[in-house]
């Protein structure tokens, strides 16, 4: 082993907006003091209860991915387990997500975009 994952970093135009979106989705603390990072207008963090840390880095010319357009690849995505897809969908749409692909309910997952355009999936547990 060479190293350990410290955080997953997402490029975005507004670090506070995206940190708050993921706090609403996953819980946790935005910009919790941590010796590893300095937070400012160009960098924010989210420490979740599970120990996962997401970081958000401002990119002035951010170009969001477009699902499923390979000319604008997704760059990364998160799969989030949920007990009820319909209930979870109502909640993520209410906090600013956009539904990208619902498919049929036999599939067990749906694709959304966060406010900066990054795809994520809700997956039935």
Both tokens of residue 105?
A: 């309910």
95 contacts 21 by C-beta, under 8 angstroms: yes
Specify which residues 43 forms β-bridges with. Answer: 40, 57
Q: Which domains does the chain have, with CATH numbers?
A: 8-58 (3.10.180.10), 78-124 (3.10.180.10)
Structure confidence at residue 66 (pLDDT): 87
Average confidence (pLDDT) per 10 residues, the chain, 125 residues: 84 96 98 92 96 94 88 83 92 96 81 93 89
Cα atoms in the 13 Å half-sphere on the side-chain side of 22: 33
Note the pLDDT tens digit of each residue in 51-87.
999 999 999 999 899 888 888 877 778 889 899 999 9
| DSSP state string for 56-120 | EEE-TT-----TT-TTS-----EEEEES-HHHHHHHHHHTT-EEEE---TTS-EEEEE-TTS-EE
């Amino acid at each position: 082993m060479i190293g350990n994952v410290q955080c997953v970093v997402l490029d975005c135009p507004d670090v506070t907006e995206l940190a708050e979106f993921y706090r609403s989705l996953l819980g946790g603390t935005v910009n919790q003091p941590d010796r590893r990072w300095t937070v400012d207008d160009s960098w924010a963090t989210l420490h979740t209860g599970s120990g996962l840390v997401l970081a958000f880095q401002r990119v002035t010319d951010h170009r969001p991915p477009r699902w499923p357009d390979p000319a604008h690849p997704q760059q990364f995505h998160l799969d989030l387990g949920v007990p009820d897809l319909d209930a979870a969908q109502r909640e993520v749409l209410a906090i600013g997500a956009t539904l990208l692909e619902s498919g049929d309910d036999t599939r067990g997952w749906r694709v959304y975009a966060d406010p900066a355009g990054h795809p994520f999936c809700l997956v039935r547990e």
